[in-house]
Structure 1
Amino acid sequence: MLFASTMTVMSGAIIAPALPGISRHFSDQPQVLIQLILTLPALMITLFSPLMGYLADRFGRKPLLLMMLSIYGLAGGAGFLIDSVNLLLASRALMGIAVAGILSISTTLVGDYFDGPERVRFLGLQSSCMALGGVVFINLGGLLSDWSWRGPFLLYLTGVFLLPYAWAMLKAPKLQSNEQAGHLNAPVKVDYMRTGIAYLAGMLSMMMFYMFPAQLPFLLSEQGEVSGLAIGIALSTAAFTASIVSFCYGYYKPFLSVMTIYIAGFVLAALGFLVVGLTQSYAMAIVGAAISGLGLGAFMPNTTAWLMRITPQRVRGRVFGGFTATFFLGQFISPIAVAPAVTWLESLRNVYTGMAVLCCVLAVILVILSRTLLRADSKL
């Protein structure tokens, strides 16, 4: 389940270093189509995650996960052989649908297999692997892209290689005893207000986090001549600190409530954005990215842990399908939201400073909610 979770990061990170080579090979095609090769899977994840959650609840987690692993490996690896942009985009779209199923189901299975402190620790480990996977797979993709722009697509075949192990090791989760006793058709109540707030928190955290891989290279270039290696190190810093915070989630969660972690995360993210926005130094920009990573790294395990506490098992698949959709919607809309903000605030540096202000506002709103509508969650 941990390796399957990293495949969501692999969907884009693997081929990012190969984009210049793909652009040269398809030099007669519009640049926007080349960029879609990278971003199309995120859009498919957003669109199809709710459906995957429903199918997982309706037909079972394990069969659907095995099917999605097969599609992921074959559709992703097809890029090694395809020599048409349209076919390549179609294969990337199909792979994005598979990723929607893999992340929704693997996260749902965590709630089915684990409970209590064990679940909290595993959620932290899952988020840590996803963040750290971004660092590893960007470098692997870069290494293979030096050989050929087609090389990184071979890494997607890991989905096929994982299939026999997943078939042998994963067990179909058992329903709770009261459901087995004849309550399968009883209505299930979903707390839409709290679920919606959790969705929004996940989406905002992803939108903010994605400002580093999408915008930081341009900001560093404005400060002077910066090598590709230096930019890569800066981008990896936020992902690395986020992975550490996610990994340690199970150790500090027993001492902090869900709301406290959210508030602290927004405060740390604000501090990091402020440092990046105000500094003229490459070293301090790395420090700012690291601080923001520390704040935003806790959001995914915290949100998934919260949703598992408030969601009935029978509808957990569709609830986490919705969470996956909103989470990746944050990634998709991040550059779209920043573009007009740069025009309005006159510089990318001011956008980072403005994001720090937004994080502070969100922290204050959560403080108020934790004492009113979400008073119960301030004790979870």
Structure 2
Amino acid sequence: MGARASSGWWQTPENALWVLVASGTLTVMAGAILGPVVNQIGTSLGVSQSLAGLVITTHGLFIVLTSPVAGRLIDRYGPRRPYVLGLALYGVAGGAGLVVESFPALLVTRALLGVAVAFVYTSITVLIYSLYESERKDRVMGLRGSANSFGAALWPLVGGALGTLSWHGPFGVYLLALPLGIVAAVTVPDPARSPRESNEGDIAALRRTLRTHPLLALVYALYFATNLLLYAIVVYYPRALATVGVDSSLSISLYLAAMGAAGGVSAYYYDRIRRRVDYRQLVLAACALWTVGFAVAATAPTRTVAVAPVVLFGLGQGLVFPTVLLWVEELVPADRQGQFSSYVAIVGYVGQFLAPVAFGPVAGAFGVHAVFATAALGAGIALVSLAWRTLS
């Protein structure tokens, strides 16, 4: 699908590229940048640490709740306007934390931030679908994934640095969305939209598409599992690191940053890798990396060896993120790209939320290393199953 003739020479896919990539990192930053100051927020606003944690999770709930609405509006009006308006809301809602002094009010701003992320996340996806073609689309989606991964490594460090000044400090970074929104309004073309082929509802369209392309359910399951495993690392790997003498917050953050950096590298080269292998082979490679990585995590005897699991998982994640989004595009109707790409955000954030629920009983009963042994077993089963289907 090509871009519609735009109102000015400056509205081109090439001019839009870097604002799309840059704003893509905002969806990662939404929660990551506040991790280092959650305890300060709880102390300053007089709430328990458990309640303070809602500052990190509230926006995720509203991403899940709002994403279907975002997808529907994007399909109806096109992705450009929801994208620009989402950036504006992101900047205002996120930046409000600079001045908010009430915990309930802060949660309201976090809910609005989740609404904004839902619109930005899905709009970026559909804009990439619409503005780029073939290998160029692979390149742009890989760059988006790379920016996300590097952002996941960088933003917590920025949040920690600003948090040394005040717990309000990290909220100032959200204001970056406002100039990005202005640049987006100037540079991003308004893509041509596919006419709606039927008037059926979203649920009916979902059922029909899953009947036609049952593989789509497995692609969503892949992204769910990726985020489930990601947050297994985020939540439980610090405990595993403590067993090899890594217990300072700075040291732990560097291990997690290595995961983001590794994902950034593999996603950066995604288009080159994609020229040589198909989607199934990319997923096969990711499952192999995860199987080895989690097996090492379950047994790592030293802090040096403990670097390997986060690097291996990051490399696999950098391959899976663009693969899922591009694979979804190939399987869904062109007139419902917003609807079906919004489900990617939903399954991803649900996977993150459920990680402690899924692995908590394992950690409680058998210890933290059993979490990674279980993850290795799951990744290994997926690897064997996929290899059998690919080779048979």
The answer to whether residue 80 in structure 2 is matched with residue 65 in structure 1 is: no
Using the alignment, how far apart are the partners of 1:152 and 1:289 within structure 2?
Answer: 26
2:23 corresponding residue in structure 1 = 4
2:93 corresponding residue in structure 1 = 75
5+ unaligned residues in a row in structure 1: which ranges? 373-380
| 1:264 aligned partner, one-letter code | A
Alignment of 1:62-141 (within 5 A): 62-141=80-159
What secondary structure does 1:298 align onto?
Answer: helix
The answer to whether residue 312 in structure 2 is matched with residue 283 in structure 1 is: no
Report Cα offsets for 1:215-251 as digits up to 9, x if no partner. Answer: 2112212333532221111111111111111111100
**TM-score, normalised relative to structure 1:** 0.92
Using the alignment, how far apart are the partners of 1:315 and 1:371 within structure 2?
Answer: 33
2:240 corresponding residue in structure 1 = 219
2:363 corresponding residue in structure 1 = 342
The answer to whether residue 376 in structure 2 is matched with residue 356 in structure 1 is: yes
2:349 corresponding residue in structure 1 = 328
Could you tell me which of 373, 376, 385 is aligned with 1:365?
385
Using the alignment, how far apart are the partners of 1:268 and 1:146 within structure 2?
Answer: 37
Using the alignment, how far apart are the partners of 2:344 and 2:254 within structure 1?
Answer: 30
5+ unaligned residues in a row in structure 2: which ranges? 1-19
The answer to whether residue 29 in structure 2 is matched with residue 24 in structure 1 is: no
1:266, 1:296 within 8 Å by CA — same for their partners in 2? no
Shift of 1:167: 0.6
Alignment of 1:232-271 (within 5 A): 232-271=253-292
**TM-score, normalised relative to structure 2:** 0.89
Using the alignment, how far apart are the partners of 1:15 and 1:350 within structure 2?
Answer: 29
1:48, 1:325 within 8 Å by CA — same for their partners in 2? no
Using the alignment, how far apart are the partners of 1:97 and 1:265 within structure 2?
Answer: 31
What secondary structure does 1:175 align onto?
Answer: coil
**Two-structure CA RMSD over aligned residues (Å):** 1.7
Using the alignment, how far apart are the partners of 2:92 and 2:249 within structure 1?
Answer: 31
2:64 corresponding residue in structure 1 = 46
Could you tell me which of 185, 191, 202 is aligned with 1:167?
185
Shift of 1:311: 2.1
Q: CA 1:101–1:369 in structure 2 vs 1: closer, same or farther (change >3 Å)?
A: farther
Report Cα offsets for 1:13-50 as digits up to 9, x if no partner. Answer: 111111121122123x2322101111111222122212
What secondary structure does 2:380 align onto?
Answer: helix
Report Cα offsets for 1:49-72 as digits up to 9, x if no partner. Answer: 122111110122111112111111
2:333 corresponding residue in structure 1 = 312
What secondary structure does 2:167 align onto?
Answer: coil
Aligned length: 365
Using the alignment, how far apart are the partners of 2:216 and 2:115 within structure 1?
Answer: 23
Shift of 1:213: 2.1
Percentage identity across paired residues of the two chains: 26
1:112, 1:313 within 8 Å by CA — same for their partners in 2? no
Using the alignment, how far apart are the partners of 1:336 and 1:131 within structure 2?
Answer: 24
